[in-house]
Structure 1
Amino acid sequence: MTSLSNQAMLPGPQPELRALFSVRTLLLGCLFFLCFLPFLTKADTDSLQHAFLERWTTRDGLPHNTINSIVQTDDGYLWFATWEGIARFNGREFTLFDRSRATGLPDSGIFALHASHSNTLYAGGSRGGLIRYQDHQWQPLPAAGALVRAVLLDQQQRLWIATESAGLWRQEPDGQRYRIRGDTGLANEAMYGLAAHPDGSVWAGTAEGLFQISGQGVRHFRNNDGLPAGPVFSIAHHRELGVVASTEQGVFVGNANDGFQLLDSNLTMPSSALLVDDATLWIGTLSDGLFRYNQQGLEALGTDSNKPSNRILSLHKDRENSLWIGTNGGLFRLRHAPFTSITTQHGLADNFVRTVLPLADGSVLAGTSRGVAHIRQQLASPFEHPAPLLRESILSLAQDAEGTLWFGSYAHGLLAVASDGSSQLFDRDDGLWSNEVRAILPAKDGSLWIGTSRGLNRWVDGTMQQLDTSSGLPGNYIMALFQSSDGRIWIGTGTGVAWWQDGTISAVDLYRQDGAEFAFGFLELPEEQYLWMATDRGLVRLNLQDNSLGVLGRESGLPFDKYFQVVADTSNNLWLSSNRGILQFSLNDARAVMAGRKAQLPFEHFAEGDGMLSAQANGGSNPAAARHPDGSIWIATAGGVVFSQPERLKSFSTFIPPVVIEQVRIDGDWVAPQHRRELPAGTQRIELFYAGLGFVMPQHIQYRTRLLGFDQDWVERGHQPYTELTNLPPGQYDFEVIAAYPGGDWSSEPAVFSFYIQPHLWQRPTFWLLLFFAIAATLLWLIRWRIQRLEQAASELKRQVAEKTAQLQQKADHLQQSNREKTELLEQLRLQSEAFARQARQDPLTGLANRRVFDEVLSQEVSRSQRHQHPLCLALIDIDFFKQVNDEWSHAVGDQVLIRVGQSLLQQCRSSDTVSRWGGEEFALLLPETRLPEVLQLCERLRHEVSQLDFSDLAKDLHITVSIGIAECKEQLAAEHLLGLADKALYQAKANGRNQVCISP
């Protein structure tokens, strides 16, 4: 980025043009500037150099990389015109509308879009096709005869249509269409752009220049009006500058009365797209990138390979103040993200940053793989000192009470730089265990603690003391040092945690917390007596009063194991850095989970899409993250230094994303999400897919749903953008969904899908009333008929009773004996049959389903998954080193191990899952209706539970672990292929060292 102009006042691009404005205009402009100066300064002084730039291409779902036009409709959707149709964007995915019977477009090539009131969209195509989209319906309009370059609906609801070779047309509200002609052109002009002026006139850019169409007629602006000869590509209206026109020779501004002049002498290249955003003018060029013009002057957004240096065709500012840039090389977005990255582009010597240290003067030191950078006002420069070590790989930083800066290097020891610039180097010759210094702690008593890769040093009174495992440390690889409020020095190593106090080292049994070993960082909060530790098994909390421990890990809802640094912000939140992004969660929620008042910890997960060049935060050196005196959080990553201002993060949540119901599926059939729909009797499954139309943090949008007539209150859906309703009884229902950013307000107007499930005939009240009368009448007739029959039969029965009594008495004894024998025989046969059936379908040792049953179920579930597009996953489980169990403790012990592992797997699974013995020491789990993240969580729990099984009654030192391979059934995937994928994942888990879960790619 380069600043090309330093003009202080916005009104007027050149002194000559400013002289043409009236005194009244100047006074109003000055008044506006003085009133809104604080706001404008805040809004427009943010450098483009630190804005977050993203890009989408056909690889991300766009139908074509040329973006001809961009608009946003009232409902919040973004629409993009391409040569392969119209793409609608909800923040997460694109939906394509192209030439089809549903749209009625004569061709998929779309050039012009215009968004009007009431969610109405107008589109013009390459064959003159025109179409209007409203209320989920496409309505073709009469064709324009040539490529439509621009469409505009003015205040009088007249539709203006600019074409490439058929001139300019105006369609009245009654549908009548007229060609606009002028004495100096417009009959068959090649049109480029249209713009509505506040005075009601319409301005048109053509191949022959600029035209104004008003009640006085058509006026053509030529050279004598200040415009160069040639085409005008784009037009905009600026409240201070007037009419803005982009030409082959730059951007010109002016008005119909005073003429036009060049906006800025540094902006004379061909410009193709314009956008006015309040007091800011955005300018897209044909080959020189993007420019911004405001009261600070002219600023350019570079032209390197990562920026929109292609031909810029369209610009749009959405409701969250993100700038969308359409080029012939893809779609770009320029915005302020939750995180800001400082990289080599901003002065870092290298993007691989290991440690950060905020200083009292507001600047920040960053240790990179190529030396120390000094960051001021978000720009970096090499730390000003001649010591060669400061240009090497730096692992740790610290500043003591006297202002001395300490720099720990990867291979050259420890450097101290005093406030007067003098320096001193410490290395192995001075008593350091190693020249690889990963942690530095200036203690309150004036001593200096130095953590190296081979042990711990304590520099006190000019003496270098050495501490290692022989001194009581759990390990010699020191990664973190911290002094708590009670004076204890806490030491984080690769094999546990210890503290030093009064010359004695005491170890913490960290391994009891889910097997934690590595301690990467510490945090103590002043309002509580706890020490938080970032470890390789989550966030461990130690009570400083009784040294008791607790852990927030996977079982508490954290998405992965390893975390490097824990930092508290000023808003009562904790931040965790990791290899897979940055987590933020409420400290109160963490306390509630630790106290058992909450089962799962809600959190926000930030990654590349939130402004980071790389989601990989670095650890193993300190400090890897820190809180700046201004409250911002700074983190060392593999893609530079990133920082986030929590207060600014809250500003993103002030926008309430509108929410829409995008799709509805009824018993497998897609239907339009109309406001009300009648569903047939017997409807079993209703699937609703919705989207919060927020584009700054779409992956963080949260949802709540409510089914009126069923739910008493809102149901929290988290980030899940769909809901499934099953087995609803007949009746009227209203499904409502609202959305919000984390910490923000919820939608005031929910998106609604109303439906009525018709009852079966037998569920209708009239049916039951008629049925009641019919049954009553039938019963009366049957009673009367029965009484008559009984009376007739009574006498006959009396006669037959006496005759048959004797015969029956004789036979009774014989039949009683015969029936008893038959009953016993039938019971024996039934028991034998059931035993044979179980033996045929059960594994005789474990009692689980055998291979035959599993093959049958696998084939059925794969077919069902692909037919109904339901999720299905398969996990193969292998007992690690099982042969050693048989060899060392006997096959009888091995059989008991198989039985207990099988029962443990069965207890952890649902009744709908299939658990079988696959063969030998292998088991198979078939998990229908389960997605891959849920299966991964289940398998991690299974692996943990098996590792905790107690076999001490079989053998004293017998411990069992398992390796698991997971595969997900995808479209057109055969059962044999699914087994092969799971088997490969299982092999990968065993190849990686066993006792772990691997997912098939």
Structure 2
Amino acid sequence: MPLLYWFFLRGCLFLLLCCSISATAHVSDDVPALDNYFKETLNTRDGLPHNTINTIAQTADGYLWFGTWEGVARYNGREFRIFDRNPETGLPDVGVRTFFVDQHNALWIGGSRGGIVKVHNGQWQAYPPLGVLINRLLLDKQDRLWIATEGQGLFMQNAAGERFQYLRQDGLPSEQIHTLLEDPAGRIWVGTADGLVYIDAQLHIQPVAADYYNGVPVFALALNHKSELLVGTERGLFLSGLDNTTPQILLDNVPVSALLFENEHILWIGTIDRGLLRQHAGVIEELDIRQGLPNNRILALLFDKEKNLWVGTNGGVFRLRDAPFSTFTTVQGLAGNYVRSVLSHSDGCMYIGTSRGLSRYCAGKIDNIDLSAVSIGQSVLSLAEGPNQSLWVGTYADGVIELNAGRISRHFHTDNGLPANEVRAVLPLADGTIWIGTALGASRINGEDIRNFGREDGLPSPFIMALYQSSNGKLFIGSGAGVVIFQEDKLTTLSLTPFDGADYAFGFTEDRDAGLLWMATDRGIIAYELNTGKMHLIGREQGIPFDKLFQVVLDKHGYFWISSNRGVLRLSRAQALEVVSGQRNNVDVELFGESDGMASAQANGGSAKAATLHHDGSVWIATSIGVSRVQPERLQYFATMLPPVVIEQFLVDENEISFTESQVLPAGTNRIEIHYAGLGYIMSQRIQYRTWLEGFDQNWVSRDSYISAEYTNLPPGKYRFKVSAAYPNGEWGQNEAELTFEILPYLWQEIWFQVFILFAFSLLAVLAIRWRLASLKRNELRLLKLVSEQTTELQLLARQDALTGLANRRAFDEALQHEYQRAQRSASTLCLALIDIDHFKQVNDQLSHAVGDEVLKRVAAVLKQQSRTVDMLARWGGEEFVILLPDTSLEDAAEVCERLRQKIEKLDLHTLSAHLKLTISIGLTTNHKLALPQLLISADKALYQAKRLGRNRLVIADSNQY
């Protein structure tokens, strides 16, 4: 019977949680859903000494403190500093169980062996230990310290240091005390292993609701805005007034370990084995290990001053925080995580193209659109809206589909006129004409008429990635070898090569007010003047941190958002226009990634559109793990926060010294380093700093996000160092951190001594200059010789195959080792394929080695052309090639290899020999459960299997596919 009762209660709780979660749509809009928080876990890999976080606190200076079984960890947003058992701390043991921040801004620490330490203004003060584990500490309004222990009852230490002990005979239900709370009347509430009591003004113990709490472990206590008492127990959560009235059951049969009010409406509840709960407006939401919680046992809860929620668990500290970006993945309902294209439709919805289908986001909900009637893989590459509000869907292998009111109305593919089924760009025009960009050229559809454009028509490359019609009627075609303009039925090539060797054009964005078309390329962004045709590059030299950019989006606040493989860039449109006009030389760039809410910083490109602006002002970016959304105005909210700043280290000639008071430094002090930190936790890595060393600097010096300032060879004198911090685009905080110091002079730094030696230096000046010139000449000759030797050495280490122009085996071995290690760290998929030309020996024997060499070059060119930009292609030796496909699923890798095989099979070689035909065999494998040396062996076995099965086929290792 007890077992059935237990399952019944668990079932009731499950139904309660399910009903509560389903009701979250009724929660007010100002309460973010749990999925909209950015979740982050910090553990021993990040610097914590132990993964069990028993207690959390934030002190007045802004530091976060975490108590573990291996010491105290202080966190500044970037790194942890560990305090353990040593003379500085006075802790008798490293095990820390509880923190308490009192009304005097002092941090009290209690833990193993009864250790009690107070930290105030950076000074540690230890008290005589009790010799028993301390579970809780509390300093009441009368400065009496209450000490809850594990088995020796409750101690009270008055301001004079005298201690008094409460035991079972004094009225305690148990001498094992779990929690303490002081109410507004000054009563001390005591949660024990066998019930709840309080201590009145006369310091007498009074029982509380014995019928409810006797024999029940009480783990957590909290007061709501009505001064009602919440009691978290092993059997659930209860609510009662402070007048000892009958408790009300709020949550039945849920073991509650921690309670924290976010505000008067929202309560966070930590449980012993069921994760974290949030209660709001009668609705309870659940967050456990299935949603990213590192462990379901909650030990501590804290809201910091920026409203980040910190959760102490048995698996590390877990944080929920607001972030600029939110990301939607398959967890929220997307058809697939690998997103290639996004479209803001006039129906108010956002359409999201993934490698596993098409999704639609409307009114906060995601549903998926079934394309299986005409698309086998439902892999979506591109999206566009037609003039009649139809939806055009370009696919990876099934051509382009038109949807009207959710129904398929038209479908174009190779069987009815397209040059290829891989459609990377779609452009419906107002006159009904449809332009299609494929992997083998561009197509124009006018009614039933289809005209295809390829190299023979003037395309520099048939690989089309972007299409755009500007306001002046020009049609821009972005390809793998520059841009083509179509106007008056003519194609005109727009070479990007003069701009740092730009080649690929991934996306177009028109800036009508400026008369510019912004092109995202593999060398930065290029501004094209629509009236004059002049172009201007904003690339590495102008401040862009890397080359390859996919899509430019102009938001409603005057900023560009630019997607890339390494995150999302934000830069001021005004600054970009000043660079174009020659008024400035560079732009200031912000880079956003995983720490800002993106599930992956790798944004996708190579199809249209890879990013877009939605009607609500949000910017959406296609990434390798879901679609990320940013509301630009949220950054302005973050900018209003003022992170406090502290000075953490003062290093003089690499020795750390105290800086609590003005320091007098000896003569000869050469190098001074000052390390500081802005104690903000929303965007810790991007906090900006400025410093001012009075006595040396004339004004504030910008330090960007660097957290240290270094000075060498400062002259003798008195100095005052100041530092302030701000979030990007925010106001500088007024709570500047300061330190003062003085450097004493040497005797020779006195003025009278300097006058004395001035004459001697004058006499030696000529000799010194002559010696120096001779020394420079000798150094110049030595450097010229060294450069010559190193140049010769570098030429011997060539990394390119001389015949095909591909990477050679040495270069590939290095790339393989790097990509394999990266895949192991990020738990991503790495695929490797070995490619062998079938019957190649017959080509050499029958047609000559010269023809064989030409065949190798042509095969290499096709492989290179058909491979993706992220792939690594190399000549392995003889007639063998190898291709490395990072961050690629086995299914996608098989699609790439099969496309390569088909292209080689169709390769026209009649100029070499009238009847010469080529095929290739491919062996494909993945790093799943394979060590690095086994990767090549696995691919080679698969290649051998392909040969054995008759050649001209793809074989996947440990599979019968193809």
TM-score bin, normalised by smaller chain: 0.7 to 0.9
Distance apart, 1:850 and its partner CA: 8.1
After superposition, the Cα gap between the structure-2 partners of 1:207 and 1:683, relative to the gap in structure 1 and judged at 3 Å, is: same
In structure 2, what is the Cα distance between the partners aligned to 1:705 and 1:118? 30
After superposition, the Cα gap between the structure-2 partners of 1:459 and 1:687, relative to the gap in structure 1 and judged at 3 Å, is: same
User: What is the aligned partner in structure 2 of residue 333 from structure 1?
Assistant: 319
Distance apart, 1:5 and its partner CA: 7.9
After superposition, the Cα gap between the structure-2 partners of 1:628 and 1:250, relative to the gap in structure 1 and judged at 3 Å, is: same
After superposition, the Cα gap between the structure-2 partners of 1:263 and 1:676, relative to the gap in structure 1 and judged at 3 Å, is: farther
In structure 1, what is the Cα distance between the partners aligned to 2:389 and 2:644? 51
Letter in 2 for 1:581: G
In structure 2, what is the Cα distance between the partners aligned to 1:564 and 1:834? 53
Any idea what SS the aligned residue of 2:87 has? coil
Distance apart, 1:591 and its partner CA: 2.2
Letter in 2 for 1:400: G
In structure 2, what is the Cα distance between the partners aligned to 1:405 and 1:154? 66
Distance apart, 1:491 and its partner CA: 0.6
- Within the alignment, does 1:156 sit opposite 2:145 as a pair? no
User: What is the aligned partner in structure 2 of residue 349 from structure 1?
Assistant: 335
Deviations 1:310-341 (A, max 9, x none): 31111111111111111111111011211101
- Mapping of 1:853-868 within 5 angstroms? none
User: What is the aligned partner in structure 1 of residue 348 from structure 2?
Assistant: 362
Distance apart, 1:592 and its partner CA: 2.7
- Mapping of 1:289-688 within 5 angstroms? 289-304=275-290, 306-383=292-369, 387-389=373-375, 392-419=378-405, 421-688=407-674
Larger Rg, first or second structure (1 or 2)? 1
TM-score, normalised on structure 2?
0.76
After superposition, the Cα gap between the structure-2 partners of 1:685 and 1:122, relative to the gap in structure 1 and judged at 3 Å, is: same
Any idea what SS the aligned residue of 2:549 has? coil
In structure 2, what is the Cα distance between the partners aligned to 1:123 and 1:160? 12
In structure 2, what is the Cα distance between the partners aligned to 1:880 and 1:433? 44
In structure 1, what is the Cα distance between the partners aligned to 2:404 and 2:171? 76
Letter in 1 for 2:150: E
- Within the alignment, does 1:878 sit opposite 2:794 as a pair? yes
Of the structure 1 ranges 442-451 and 683-692, higher mean CA displacement relative to structure 2 is found in 442-451
TM-score, normalised on structure 1?
0.73
Letter in 1 for 2:253: T
In structure 2, what is the Cα distance between the partners aligned to 1:682 and 1:876? 45
- Within the alignment, does 1:274 sit opposite 2:259 as a pair? yes
Q: Which runs of 4+ in 1 moved over 6 A?
A: 5-8, 837-841, 880-884
Any idea what SS the aligned residue of 1:649 has? helix
In structure 1, what is the Cα distance between the partners aligned to 2:362 and 2:142? 53
Letter in 1 for 2:410: Q
In structure 2, what is the Cα distance between the partners aligned to 1:415 and 1:422? 7
Letter in 2 for 1:663: Q
After superposition, the Cα gap between the structure-2 partners of 1:77 and 1:263, relative to the gap in structure 1 and judged at 3 Å, is: farther
In structure 1, what is the Cα distance between the partners aligned to 2:42 and 2:774? 62
- Mapping of 1:832-847 within 5 angstroms? 842=781, 846-847=784-785
For structure 2, the residue ranges without an aligned partner over 5 or more in a row are 1-13, 759-766, 803-875, 884-962
Distance apart, 1:166 and its partner CA: 2.0
Distance apart, 1:199 and its partner CA: 2.4
In structure 2, what is the Cα distance between the partners aligned to 1:158 and 1:380? 56
Letter in 1 for 2:794: D
Any idea what SS the aligned residue of 1:264 has? strand
Deviations 1:424-454 (A, max 9, x none): 2111122111111100111233211110000
User: What is the aligned partner in structure 2 of residue 971 from structure 1?
Assistant: none
Any idea what SS the aligned residue of 1:4 has? helix
In structure 2, what is the Cα distance between the partners aligned to 1:355 and 1:2? 38
Letter in 2 for 1:203: W
After superposition, the Cα gap between the structure-2 partners of 1:877 and 1:362, relative to the gap in structure 1 and judged at 3 Å, is: farther
User: What is the aligned partner in structure 1 of residue 937 from structure 2?
Assistant: none
Distance apart, 1:661 and its partner CA: 0.6
In structure 1, what is the Cα distance between the partners aligned to 2:386 and 2:788? 67
Deviations 1:825-846 (A, max 9, x none): xx9xx99x989x98899459x4
Of the structure 1 ranges 327-336 and 294-303, higher mean CA displacement relative to structure 2 is found in 294-303
After superposition, the Cα gap between the structure-2 partners of 1:354 and 1:186, relative to the gap in structure 1 and judged at 3 Å, is: same
Kept after mapping to 1: 8 A contact 2:483/2:493: yes
User: What is the aligned partner in structure 1 of residue 866 from structure 2?
Assistant: none
- Within the alignment, does 1:4 sit opposite 2:23 as a pair? no
Any idea what SS the aligned residue of 1:449 has? strand
Kept after mapping to 2: 8 A contact 1:322/1:696: yes
Distance apart, 1:464 and its partner CA: 1.1
How many residues align? The count is: 778
Q: What fraction of aligned residue pairs are identical, expressed as a percent?
A: 44
Deviations 1:87-118 (A, max 9, x none): 00011110000011221111111111112355
Kept after mapping to 2: 8 A contact 1:353/1:640: yes
User: What is the aligned partner in structure 1 of residue 181 from structure 2?
Assistant: 195
- Mapping of 1:59-78 within 5 angstroms? 59-78=45-64
Letter in 2 for 1:487: G
In structure 1, what is the Cα distance between the partners aligned to 2:193 and 2:706? 50
In structure 2, what is the Cα distance between the partners aligned to 1:725 and 1:882? 43
After superposition, the Cα gap between the structure-2 partners of 1:840 and 1:388, relative to the gap in structure 1 and judged at 3 Å, is: closer
Deviations 1:700-725 (A, max 9, x none): 11110011122221111111111001
Deviations 1:288-316 (A, max 9, x none): 11000122521111431732443111111
Distance apart, 1:550 and its partner CA: 1.2
Letter in 2 for 1:438: R
Letter in 1 for 2:451: Q
Kept after mapping to 2: 8 A contact 1:154/1:196: yes
- Within the alignment, does 1:139 sit opposite 2:125 as a pair? yes
Letter in 2 for 1:521: G
Distance apart, 1:384 and its partner CA: 5.8
In structure 1, what is the Cα distance between the partners aligned to 2:172 and 2:748? 70
- Within the alignment, does 1:264 sit opposite 2:250 as a pair? yes
After superposition, the Cα gap between the structure-2 partners of 1:841 and 1:701, relative to the gap in structure 1 and judged at 3 Å, is: closer
Letter in 2 for 1:292: R
User: What is the aligned partner in structure 2 of residue 689 from structure 1?
Assistant: 675
Instruction: Let me know the Cα RMSD of the aligned residues.
Output: 3.3
Any idea what SS the aligned residue of 1:564 has? strand
Kept after mapping to 2: 8 A contact 1:211/1:220: yes
Deviations 1:157-203 (A, max 9, x none): 22221111222122222323322467663397111111222222222
Match of 1:230 among 192, 211, 216: 216
Distance apart, 1:6 and its partner CA: 7.2
Any idea what SS the aligned residue of 2:507 has? strand
Deviations 1:888-909 (A, max 9, x none): xxxxxxxxxxxxxxxxxxxxxx
Distance apart, 1:360 and its partner CA: 2.9
Distance apart, 1:369 and its partner CA: 0.9
User: What is the aligned partner in structure 2 of residue 113 from structure 1?
Assistant: 99
Of the structure 1 ranges 167-176 and 64-73, higher mean CA displacement relative to structure 2 is found in 167-176
After superposition, the Cα gap between the structure-2 partners of 1:718 and 1:260, relative to the gap in structure 1 and judged at 3 Å, is: farther
Distance apart, 1:847 and its partner CA: 4.5
Any idea what SS the aligned residue of 2:88 has? coil
After superposition, the Cα gap between the structure-2 partners of 1:841 and 1:594, relative to the gap in structure 1 and judged at 3 Å, is: closer
For structure 1, the residue ranges without an aligned partner over 5 or more in a row are 11-37, 776-826, 855-874, 887-987, 994-1001
After superposition, the Cα gap between the structure-2 partners of 1:488 and 1:260, relative to the gap in structure 1 and judged at 3 Å, is: farther
Letter in 1 for 2:344: P
Kept after mapping to 1: 8 A contact 2:508/2:517: yes
